[in-house]
Chain A
Amino acid sequence: MKKKLLSLVLAGAMTAAVVTGCGNSASGSQTSDGADSQTEESAADSQTSDGASSGDTFKIGGIGPLTGSAAVYGVAAMNGSQIAVDEINAAGGINGMTVELNFQDDELDAEKSVNAYNVLKDWGAQVIDGSVTSACSIAVSDKTHEDQMFQLTPSGSAVDCVQYDNAFRICFSDPNQGIASAQYISENKLASKIAVIYDSSDVYSSGIYEKFAQEAASQSLEIVYAGAFTADSNKDFSVQLQKAKDAGAELVFLPIYYTEASLILTQAADMGLDVQFFGCDGLDGILDVENFDVSLAEGVMLLTPFAADATDALTVKFVEAYQEKYGETPNQFAADGYDTIYTIKAAAEKAGITAGMSTEEICAALTAAMPEITVDGLTGEGITWDASGEPSKAPKAVVIKDGAYAAM
């Protein structure tokens, strides 16, 4: 009996592994194709670079989730970074050095993220582009601080990601997004009675909600209802929506990722809840959700640093290159990854990094150079950093109009 149950459980676990594996590859079939072509490309790149310049390489190690539930973000950041690396190499590299990018999977696990960092250290990485997610980034920053290696995270948004002086970030921090959202709603008089639906089991979501609630109080916005859900209960939102409706909310703030948001919008439409929806950068990507009626997202506003259909030359060029190479529209994480590489380039040029420098010297030089540079990137114009590691850039609000993001 016991053995039977044991074998049943093991068989179940394996089936589950197969099913989740399939699920991931189904949802991100294009991304895995992209990853494959990326590996081929980078292999080709390293060959050509070996042929062109003898050994003068600048090694950037990337860390992010390439498999599992958060693979979309990691793969996007990896692809975005790779495009930047290719562009830089085609234009002659950084200070004459060819850039090499090695992106390692961390499976959204802090322990695995540290393993990935150690792999990159063995490979000879000189700076770290990562990790893509907050908790992993915090774990890695502890090790980079120990080893004095410069770290720039594209999208690690938790406050503690940049607690050490060698760590910087490209994205807004969670509190900044919460504060900016509350200020934006209040300044533009979008609503005064607000309901919030957030994921209490998610770092990103609860981090934004906390600061939003604080700032809302000082902006004289009234939060009439705050409904939490967790990763285990993220399919049915009718209770939260009904309570938001009963509380008389004029605007529903969704500091969550787009998968849940698409369900919320669908269920809100089913129950006839007609209010303004407002989100943060996590909503970016909602128009690409499969089987989602895009017309439901009409009028949804979101604060995001990047919109794929912006018309500035840099974005157009990036989106074209990304679509050509990976066959899909880049999201904000791809843009963050792209800006990360160009920021490293700007800082390295400012600091005069040369091939012979040790990792510690590079770290010290880059850390000193970061507050002095200004980067015009995809995720903001004239981005500057202070020594604490926080970027300073203006948040952009976009509204979904006719099935596309439009600037406001």
Chain B
Amino acid sequence: MKTKAGKLSKTAKNDMITYGMVIAAYIIVQILVSTGHVSSLVQGLLVPFCTYSIVAVALNLTVGILGELSLGHAGFMCVGAFTSAVFSLACKETLPSVPRFAAALLIGAASAALVGFLVGVPVLRLKGDYLAIVTLAFGEIIKNIINAIYLGVDAEGLHFSMKDALSLGMSEDGLMLIKGAQGVTGAPHDSNFTVGVVLLLITLFIVQHFIRSRTGRAVMAIRDNRIAAESVGINITKYKLIAFTISASLAGVAGVLYAHNLSTLNALPKNFGYNMSILILVFVVLGGIGNMRGSVIAAVLLTLLPEVLRSLNDYRMLIYAVVLIVMMIFNWSPNMIFLRKRVRQRLAAGREAGEEV
């Protein structure tokens, strides 16, 4: 056992545990589904699990590795969701589902990356918490812009308006892509659990390899001590921008997954607003800042929790809040950390004593 572990570095082993956990969960769920032991509720939640895990890992890259606070990741999700849903809807008849979804993924990721880059360019030059403020505003702005867009396609090409559907001047057989506040309706169902898990694994792979890479080490150096990093010649803005753009594009991927899971897509405060951004941040904080595995676990647990508590009716939101607070205390309170350490020490001491006997 020792020789095998010795071949892999400690960090690589840690990464393997994360992949292993996701793959094991996937296999177990697939077996349970095929034997009919999973309720419809959980089956319906499988794709959201993947969606929120991906976006939590993406945000963890910004918060944990880059050390900047982003309150607009729901906005990047929104960009990815809408661009990809529009593409898929427009190509619903012309492309088969596999290449269509692959292209939708690339489009969603690229557009979110582009927007992330544009938001990052002015902000990441600055010291301090400006990114949090700007992304917060960005998330709200993007939601309102999308609610005002009317986009349609007919034989003459694309029609665009910010006023209302009438001013598009579409022909009768035209297809409405975005109907303002009514959003996108009828995007194909291309998301499923397998696709979600594959995307989650790819996300984890990208993020974890990024952390171990030369670029990732530079980013972490900036996080730990900006002046020291600058003094050894690291281009602060460039590396910050790289990390933030990757994070935004991964959030866009989560948006693509989200958009192709439901047949209706609206930019509501509920799904792409400030509260959603905070919820993603909660996944990251409770899972552990900089801890990718923790983000996945926290995202799954906290997505499942309100649904499991449904039987409590009106009290479930109350309980949900209490659970959040308890989790926060358990994970982060100095007393609890001390207590956990002591328990672990005592266990270790007990094991040693047992071995001696």
**Residues of A bordering B, CB below 8 Å:** 1-2, 5-6, 9-10, 13-14, 17, 21, 32, 35-36, 39, 66-68, 104-105, 107-111, 114-119, 121-122, 134-135, 138-139, 141-143, 158, 160, 199-203, 205-207, 209-210, 213-214, 226, 230-232
Contact of A200 with B285 at beta-carbon distance under 8 Å, contacts A36-B314, A115-B44, A119-B307 already known: no
Q: Across the interface, do B41 and A5 meet the contact criterion of CB distance under 8 Å?
A: no
Task: Tell me, yes or no, whether B202 is within 8 Å of chain A by CB.
Answer: no
Taken together as a complex, chains A and B put the C-alpha atoms of A14 and B317 apart, in Å, by 12
Q: What's the nearest-Cβ distance from chain A to residue B45, in Å?
A: 7
Stretch touching chain A among B9-17, B179-187, B243-251, B291-299: B179-187
Task: Tell me, yes or no, whether B132 is within 8 Å of chain A by CB.
Answer: yes
**CB 8 Å contact bits of B40-58 with A (1 = contact, 0 = none):** 1101110010000000000
Q: What's the nearest-Cβ distance from chain A to residue B79, in Å?
A: 18
Q: What's the nearest-Cβ distance from chain B to residue A6, in Å?
A: 6
B317 contacts across to A, CB distance below 8 A: 21, 67
Q: List 11 A-B contacts (CB under 8 A).
A: A2-B129, A9-B132, A9-B278, A35-B313, A67-B314, A115-B44, A118-B40, A122-B39, A200-B148, A200-B164, A207-B182
Taken together as a complex, chains A and B put the C-alpha atoms of A115 and B132 apart, in Å, by 32
A230 contacts across to B, CB distance below 8 A: 144, 147-148
Q: Across the interface, do A121 and B164 meet the contact criterion of CB distance under 8 Å?
A: no
Contact of A105 with B310 at beta-carbon distance under 8 Å, contacts A201-B144, A206-B182 already known: yes
Task: Tell me, yes or no, whether B90 is within 8 Å of chain A by CB.
Answer: no
Q: What's the nearest-Cβ distance from chain B to residue A385, in Å?
A: 22
Task: Tell me the interface secondary structure of chain B in the complex.
Answer: helix
Contact of A203 with B182 at beta-carbon distance under 8 Å, contacts A9-B281, A108-B268, A109-B268 already known: yes
Q: Across the interface, do B181 and A203 meet the contact criterion of CB distance under 8 Å?
A: yes
Taken together as a complex, chains A and B put the C-alpha atoms of A104 and B282 apart, in Å, by 26
Q: Across the interface, do A2 and B270 meet the contact criterion of CB distance under 8 Å?
A: no
Task: Tell me the interface secondary structure of chain A in the complex.
Answer: helix
Contact of A6 with B69 at beta-carbon distance under 8 Å, contacts A13-B278, A110-B264, A214-B166 already known: yes
Taken together as a complex, chains A and B put the C-alpha atoms of A107 and B273 apart, in Å, by 14
Interface residues on B, range: 35 or more
Tell me the chain B residues, 148-191 only, with Cβ under 8 Å from chain A: 148, 164-166, 179-183, 185-186, 189
Q: What's the nearest-Cβ distance from chain A to residue B284, in Å?
A: 10
Q: Across the interface, do A5 and B132 meet the contact criterion of CB distance under 8 Å?
A: yes
Of A110, A201, A214, which one neighbours B147 at CB under 8 angstroms?
A: A201
B181 contacts across to A, CB distance below 8 A: 199-203, 205-206
**Residues of B bordering A, CB below 8 Å:** 39-41, 43-45, 48, 67, 69, 71, 128-129, 132, 140, 144, 147-148, 164-166, 179-183, 185-186, 189, 258, 261-266, 268-271, 275, 278, 281-282, 285, 307, 310, 313-314, 317, 321
Q: Across the interface, do B69 and A5 meet the contact criterion of CB distance under 8 Å?
A: yes
Q: Across the interface, do A121 and B40 meet the contact criterion of CB distance under 8 Å?
A: yes
Find the B residue at minimum CB distance from A145: B263
Q: Across the interface, do B263 and A142 meet the contact criterion of CB distance under 8 Å?
A: yes
Q: What's the nearest-Cβ distance from chain B to residue A169, in Å?
A: 16
A158 contacts across to B, CB distance below 8 A: 182
Q: What's the nearest-Cβ distance from chain B to residue A11, in Å?
A: 11
Q: Across the interface, do B282 and A10 meet the contact criterion of CB distance under 8 Å?
A: yes
Contact of A68 with B270 at beta-carbon distance under 8 Å, contacts A104-B310, A142-B262, A230-B147 already known: yes
B185 contacts across to A, CB distance below 8 A: 138, 160
Q: What's the nearest-Cβ distance from chain B to residue A139, in Å?
A: 5
Of A67, A68, A115, A139, which one neighbours B263 at CB under 8 angstroms?
A: A139
A138 contacts across to B, CB distance below 8 A: 185, 263-264
Contact of A231 with B269 at beta-carbon distance under 8 Å, contacts A122-B39, A200-B180 already known: yes
Q: What's the nearest-Cβ distance from chain B to residue A71, in Å?
A: 10
A35 contacts across to B, CB distance below 8 A: 313-314
A135 contacts across to B, CB distance below 8 A: 182-183, 264, 266, 268
A2 contacts across to B, CB distance below 8 A: 67, 69, 129
Of B40, B263, B264, which one neighbours A122 at CB under 8 angstroms?
A: B40
Q: Across the interface, do A115 and B41 meet the contact criterion of CB distance under 8 Å?
A: yes
Taken together as a complex, chains A and B put the C-alpha atoms of A105 and B67 apart, in Å, by 37
